[in-house]
Each structure stands twice: as structure tokens, then as C-alpha cells.
A = this chain, B = another copy of it.
Amino acid sequence: MPLLPSDLAYVPFVSVEHMMGLVHHLGIERMLRDLADEIEADFKRWELFDKTPRVASHSDVGVIELMPTSDGEMYGFKYVNGHPKNTKDGLQTVTAFGLLADVDTGYPKLLSEMTLLTALRTAATSAMAARHLAPKGTTTMAMIGNGAQSEFQCLAFKAICGIDTVRLYDIDEAATEKAARNLAASGLKVVTCKSGEDAMEGAQIITTCTADKQYATILTDNMIGPGVHINAIGGDCPGKTELHRDILLRSEIFVEYPEQTWIEGEIQQLEKDHPITELWRVITGEAQGRRDDKQITLFDSVGFAIEDFSALRYIHKAVQGTGYFTKLDMLADPDDPRDLFGMLNRSKG
């Protein structure tokens, strides 16, 4: 007689449809704020995490990465690919899913889509960093690069930093139009711009998120006035940067996990002894964030496993008691743990 698996055998699974439902259920701005708070709380206890650079498998056309971490109670990892050429085939450049497990038993506790969740946590991380680094009273952000991440960034800076205006620019006008359309009902004042310089007019925060997998110079030195905060999230793999080196030399640079940022971030362009500050030290108060109104601050963000961990743990809590997950029969769970074969035999029916 086929037996039903016990509850231990089931792993809650949050599909793309569930994730979209959860976002609408909670409200995207609330969710971005919640995520920023969760990520900030984990940055505060940075030192207790088990950290390792991502485990990457490179090919000619892209990369597949595993990003594991643990706080000693929960273990999480994300699978994520990066394939810039996918777009022309109608596929996503980046897809992702993640898993949360119990360190004490090794049993998975949550499997979740993470393409949407990564977009949300990336935006929440950017805005959380800006909360510590941007000048006071910011109202306007330049959003340079209007691809899949751009609207999430705009909303996160509205929800978390209180901006009211975004100035959009992309070399592809259609991308800008798409972002403007998507943000039309957001409550933000949306200004579409014809150049990067135009977009930066009056902006206290400059976010760059372009997709070319090569050294590009989206921003040059003369474009950047004093006092701004630059949120650079597009330079995220070896050989890919967005800012001219001279901007880096004028900026105070903040990073997530230096071992990874030296390989993938804007600081690839600098000597290895150039001073950088880990963001978590600013959050705990160990290091100074913004010093004065004239300073240029730069968050050179490449993403880190702890941000995914925070996001997965948040989703694990958020879906409890809702219909935004199903249960997957993913773990063999014989009545007698030594009798895996007996379970198989008995399933014959």
C-alpha cells in the first residue's frame, strides 16, 4: 500500500506566482521596507555569519553561481545565473532560486523562486545603504540604466529614503519608456531624460544599473558634482564596470564583502591597497558613513549571500498562515531512518 509521506518530508515552496501574490498582498513598498530592515539587522551581526565568496562555474557565455551562507541557526543558498546574451533569445539574463535549511537537522525549510526576490532585495539593499550614506533631505534620484532592476530601485528609494522624483535615462529609449510607464502610478514624479548628464540634473542620488558585460564608462568624472551619493549596482562581474576610475578616486567607497567586490565591483579598477569601508561597519557604528555635505559617497554593490539569506528568512516568515506556498514532497522520510529500502519496497503498491 502506498503510504503518504509524513509532514517532515514536505518542503514549503514559493513559486513565481506565489511571490507575485505575496508582493501584492503585503504591498511592494512595505515589503521593500521590511526587507531593508531585515538586511540591515543581519548586517549588524555580520561577523557571526559563515561567509564564503560565491562558487562560480564560468562558461564562454555566462556564469552559474551558488551563494551559501549561515548564521549558525539557519543555512541558506541561492542559485543564480548570469547570461547577458539570453535577452536576445527572449530569456532572462538572471534567474534565481533559493533554499533555507535548518542547521541543526540539515532539513530544508523553504524553497523559493528568487528572480523577483533578488530584484526586491537588491533594491532594498541599495536604499538601506543610502539611508546611511546619502545626504540628508534627498528628494531626487537619477536612474541610469532602465532595465529589469530599475523600477524596483526607484520604489525602494521612495519607500526607504523618501525620494519623490526619479530622472530616468537609458541608451535605449524604449527601456526608459517602459520604466516610465511602469512607474506612472507609483506616486513618484517621473522625468524621462535624453542623456546621463540630463538625468543627473538636481539629483542627490545617482543609481547606475546597466547591463553590458564589459568595461564601460557610464559616468565620467566631470559629470559628478560634490555631495552626491552614487549607488553603483551594474558592475557585478569580472571585467564589468560602469564608472570612470577618476570618480572612484574622488569618492569614499563602501562595499559589502571586500573579497568579492575586489573581483566583481567598480574597485576592480583600483590598486588593492586603496581604502574602502565595509558597509556593515557603518551600520554597527564602527566606521563613519557620510562625513559632510561635500563628500561623494559610493556604494559599490555586487550583492552578497547574506542579503539573500535575510530575504529568504523574511519570506519564510511572511508566508506562514497564507496560501502563498505549496508543499513539495522533496525529502525521503521512511518511518525507520535506516529503512530507506523498505520505504521504496512498500511504495510498490
Contacts and interface: CB of A to CB of B under 8 A. Distances in A.
Interface of A: 2, 5, 8-9, 13, 15-17, 20-21, 23-24, 28, 50, 52, 55, 57, 59, 61-64, 66, 68, 70, 72, 75, 77, 79, 81-83, 86-87, 89-93, 95, 97, 99, 101, 103-108, 113, 115-116, 119, 146-152, 175, 178-179, 181-182, 328-334, 336-345, 347-348
A337 B16 CA distance: 15
Contacts of A20: 343-344, 347
Pairs A-B, 6 closest by C-beta atoms: A81-B106, A115-B332, A151-B341, A15-B329, A20-B347, A148-B340
Contacts of A77: 66, 79
Given A72-B59, A182-B339, A333-B92, A105 B86 contact: yes
Nearest to A172: B338
A13 B23 CA distance: 25
Contacts of A87: 337-338
A182 B343 CA distance: 10
Contacts of A119: 340-341
Contacts of A57: 50, 68, 70, 75, 103
28 contacts: A5-B16, A5-B17, A15-B330, A16-B329, A16-B330, A20-B347, A24-B347, A57-B70, A57-B103, A62-B104, A64-B75, A64-B103, A64-B106, A66-B66, A66-B77, A83-B104, A83-B106, A86-B106, A91-B333, A92-B340, A95-B331, A95-B332, A97-B108, A97-B331, A116-B344, A119-B341, A175-B338, A182-B342
Q: Which of A23, A90, A178, A340 has the most CB of B within 10 A?
A: A340
Contacts of A333: 16, 91-92
B68 A68 contact: no
A231 B50 CA distance: 35
Contact of A106 (B55, B62, B338): B62
Given A55-B66, A57-B75, A347-B24, A341 B106 contact: no
A322 to B, nearest CB: 16
A115 B337 CA distance: 11
Contacts of A105: 62, 81, 83, 86, 89, 91
